[in-house]
Structures are given as structure tokens and as C-alpha cells.
Structure 1
């Protein structure tokens, strides 16, 4: 049965040379043909973000088709690896399949990454799936202060790009065990001498706002490697800026009532703000920092992604665009 609806035909008429296949939520959902996965409400609660909007319907309609598509690509990569070994008459170990997940602050890319990790881990062959966020590759607060970048945290220049590229190089070079630095959202800083061990993974998810950005020239030189060079596939989580801003404000208010109340929290001083004060403070941060970063650095990378998942105001995926092959 054809999945091409009138909406899709209209899109193709107005965008005849688009590099993407564009599918509505219903069209995308209809592609899933594997046996259903029964997720409990407890599992769903553990996967969702601070603003808990994840539902079983969202898992089934938006994410299971994604997992099936990723599974097809992973299997194709495995076959290609086998064919290359036969051609070169070698017996090399297959390298980890790397998935990049990008998008704005508060758009839900961390939740998307956790869902992908959980569902891929439950595939029949039970692959080992590790999730690494680029937060761990931010410069420490001390270094950011020294560089005059405290108010630019999250912008491209606030990341130790060399360390991130070295980390990805180690993974794609076949190093059986690689360490990723640890970032604490509670302390709002890198944790010194703390690392995650990424050992012999089958799949690695790299999540962060900066993963599709192209390096800016350093003096007269242009970096020769991009983070996305190491990805087997990339995903951009997208939404209207107005909705993202609202989600950011909602998240800040919820954190004010939860994580910020802990004495050791970097943001403990904001726990006593009224809701009105909290909204004013969060709005200022959004306008000065996150909005600027989104418009200047993150949004321009959207069409570098292989898959674009567009959300509506309810955090539901309403459209999926998949790059043509």
C-alpha cells in the first residue's frame, strides 16, 4: 500500500528537487512493521525529560519507525563491512556505528537520545549502546572565565573541540575502551578526574547542540575535521522557536522547584525566586544566550542532518524528513 498522501504530493510539487523525503506523522508511523515493543509506564517515565510529556503513543508513532530505519542502516553497514573484509582479505573488527543527535537547548534532544538508546538496546541481537553528551567537552567554568566566555557557554567556542575530535577518532580507530569526561548539571561544571568508560560499544550516540556545526577558521587556517565526519547518521530535533522558548521557561520553573533546591546546586540561589521572577530571569537568559546561539549556530546546521524530526507545541513529532540516498 502506498504511503504517499495528498500532503506529500503537494510537498513534492512545491519542492520537486528537495534532498529529503518528507513524511507526516501518520505516514511515518505506518512504516513500522516489526513486532510491537511493550513499554511500561515506569520505563516511559524514566526516558522522558524534566517536562514529562512522553507517551506510549509517541514511542509507537515517532520512535519505533526511527529504530526500524536505523536498524536497516546498521545491518547494511554490517554487510558492507563484511564485503570490505572479503575484498581486502582481512578479518577486521567492525567499528561502532555512530549516531549524532543535534538541536536547540530545551528541544528534547536528550530525551530523544535516551529513547533511541533504550529501544536500540532492546533489538533482538541486544547491541551495546552508549550515550555520550558533548556537555562533557565544554571547557571548565574556570577556563571559560579565564577566556572571557562565561556568558558564551554552549556557543561553539566554549567547547574543547580538539578533545571531542580526539575522542571520536579513538572510537572510529577501533580503540576498545575510550574515556569520556563527565559534566554535572547539578554543579554546572566539568567534574575533574571523572570519566565514563566507553568500552567495546556496537553503537554510540553523540548528543549535543554543537555536533553538526562546522568549525570556524582559526587565524588563517581552517580545521580539516568536523565532528559530523565521524557520524554514520545524524538526527536534528526541530521545533518552532516560540515553542522551544516556552519549553525552556517551563523547564526552568520545574528545576527551581526540584534540582535548584539542593544546597550543592550551582543554581541554588534561584530556588527562592517567585514564578514571575523565575520567568523574567529565564526569559533574559533565553534572549541573551540561547536564542542567539540557536539562530547563529544551531539552526543553520539543520539541513546538514540526515533525519529531521519536527515537533509541534505538544512535543509530538509531526513531520519527519529523511535525506534521499
Structure 2
């Protein structure tokens, strides 16, 4: 494979030449439920990664400036877009938030937006009508063309709307959206972002991958992902599931054994097939692959050769 590979310690050594250290307070604010990460680990992995992304963004900016001068046009530079993909429970949200925090501290990119792809899912009513509610998170469960249209607007310098997804009700919030307006960097986080383009209704190849300037794939063994999913499910019983508005409120009263069994059934029926069919096969398309061990620690960093 066309990658340069670093082990954890080799990569961590790069952090010593990178500014912008994190604090314990930062980490408490940014880490996700079920994705434990130490301050040392966050600094070791994400400070160098933010520096690499800055190098790519800076090089693209320099190319834009030269092209702008040569071509004589006045349009502003478009946002640099980072895509983060990987399985359910692998830690995409924590990675995305840590990178947003670090990248926004660099002088050239103070405005960093983060958009999860959950907002582009079809509403539950539509999924039920199509008979695919049980395949939520699979490529066919997203509103056709919505994410591509959003990214096209961003790359064209237009404001773009993102529907709001409520993880408690497990559904799109009707009539509610957020506006993303010309960020320096846009981070998009989701399951199947690295899939190749497919023919659309116009007979043209269209895919979100083509809009990304830098991509990250979070990798881990299937057995670890399952255990992390079960662990998070157990924790959610006493948090989100216990909310009366929760779509999963009927799970709140399960015993530990019942909850673990239910979580494994869901993992094996939905998340594992999606991982094998649609997510893991796209791993080699990423600019960087972060490979985790069973303890959530990133053991290998694979950077695509230039």
C-alpha cells in the first residue's frame, strides 16, 4: 500500500515540534461517551495530525494564490474540507472535536466548522415508509444528494444549511437547521464518507469523497468495536435512554445481561454488516489511517505517500 507507517511513539515524537497543547479541561469538554482518551494520548496523536492538516491546507492556499494571480480572477478561496470516516463506536466524534479545537488555534484557520452527517439521514417516517429503518446508517438511509449538495454549496462559497439531528429522539428535528458560512476549514464526520462516486439521476458520477481535501479513517478490530459498542450501550441506559423523549427509552430498564445481549444483537444485525459492506472497504482511500488497539490507544498511523 502507498503509505508511510509510524508506530505510536514515532508519531508522538512529532508532537514535541508542534505548538497548541491541550489541557485536561479541553479533553473533558471534547471527549465522547465510551471513547476514553488521556491527555497524553490526545497530545501525542492529534497535535501532529493537526500540523499535517495545516501543511496540506497551507500548500493548497499557496497554490490558490499562484493560480489566482496567473488566471486573473478575484474569487475568494474555498474552504478546505476534511472527512473523517469509520465504524460506529470507533471514536469519530472525539477525533472530529479534538481536531476542530486544535485547527481553530492555528493563526491561518480560526474558523473551523464541524458537521456530522446524521443531519442528512432521512426522517424516521420516510425510512419506515421505505422499509429500511433497520438499515439506518447504510448509504441508502441518507437523503439522496443532500450531502453532495451541501458540500457543493460550501466549495462554491455559498452558505449551506444542515438539518438538525436529535440523538435522543433518534430523528431529524422538523424545520430546524444550522447554517454553515464560509469556514476556513470544514470537518465532516460520518460512516460512509469514503465511498466512490455513483451515477446520479442526471447520469453523472457524484460522490462526497470528491469534495474532500484531506481524509481520515479510524480503524480498529471488529471484536474491539463490538465491545466498545456494548459498553457505550450500557452507559446510555442511565443517560440518554432514561430521557422520556428517548426513542430507546424501553431499553432503560434492562438488566446488564439483557442490555449486553440486546446491544450485541443490534451490532451483529446492523452495524457489523454496514462495516463490512460499506465502511471498511473504503479504508485505503483515506489520506491518513489511525489504527486503534483494544484499549482505544492508537497504535499505528498510516500516512499516504505524496
Q: Secondary structure at the match of 2:78?
A: coil
Q: Does the CA-based 8 Å contact 2:35-2:91 persist in structure 1?
A: no
Q: Does the CA-based 8 Å contact 2:83-2:187 persist in structure 1?
A: yes
CA distance in 2, matches of 1:222, 1:308: 32
Where do 1:136-175 residues align within 5 Å? 136-175=119-158
For residue 292 of structure 2, what is the aligned residue in structure 1? 311
CA offsets 1:192-227 (integer angstroms, 9 cap, x no match): 1111110121100010001112355679x8651111
Q: Does the CA-based 8 Å contact 2:216-2:289 persist in structure 1?
A: yes
The TM-score normalised by the length of structure 1 is 0.91
> Which runs of no fewer than 5 residues in structure 2 stay unpaired?
none
Q: Which segment drifts farther, 39-48 or 149-158?
A: 39-48
Q: Which segment drifts farther, 278-287 or 222-231?
A: 222-231
Q: Does the CA-based 8 Å contact 2:200-2:206 persist in structure 1?
A: no
**Deviation of residue 313 (structure 1)?**
1.0
Q: Does the CA-based 8 Å contact 2:163-2:176 persist in structure 1?
A: yes
CA distance in 1, matches of 2:108, 2:197: 37
Q: Does the CA-based 8 Å contact 1:215-1:222 persist in structure 2?
A: no
CA offsets 1:25-51 (integer angstroms, 9 cap, x no match): 111112235454343322101111102
Q: Secondary structure at the match of 1:284?
A: helix
**Deviation of residue 247 (structure 1)?**
0.3
RMSD, matched Cα:
1.5
Of residues 89, 114, 125, the one that matches 1:106 is: 89
**Deviation of residue 315 (structure 1)?**
0.9
Q: Does the CA-based 8 Å contact 1:310-1:317 persist in structure 2?
A: yes
CA distance in 1, matches of 2:200, 2:15: 45
CA distance in 2, matches of 1:100, 1:137: 15
Q: Does the CA-based 8 Å contact 2:217-2:289 persist in structure 1?
A: yes
Where do 1:83-94 residues align within 5 Å? 83-94=66-77
Where do 1:202-221 residues align within 5 Å? 202-215=184-197
Where do 1:1-325 residues align within 5 Å? 18-175=1-158, 177-215=159-197, 224-325=205-306
> Which runs of no fewer than 5 residues in structure 1 stay unpaired?
1-17
Q: Which segment drifts farther, 30-39 or 286-295?
A: 30-39
The TM-score normalised by the length of structure 2 is 0.96
For residue 8 of structure 1, what is the aligned residue in structure 2? none
Q: Secondary structure at the match of 1:187?
A: coil
Count of equivalent residues: 306
**Deviation of residue 139 (structure 1)?**
0.6
Q: Does the CA-based 8 Å contact 2:22-2:43 persist in structure 1?
A: no
CA distance in 2, matches of 1:167, 1:191: 18
Q: Secondary structure at the match of 1:319?
A: strand
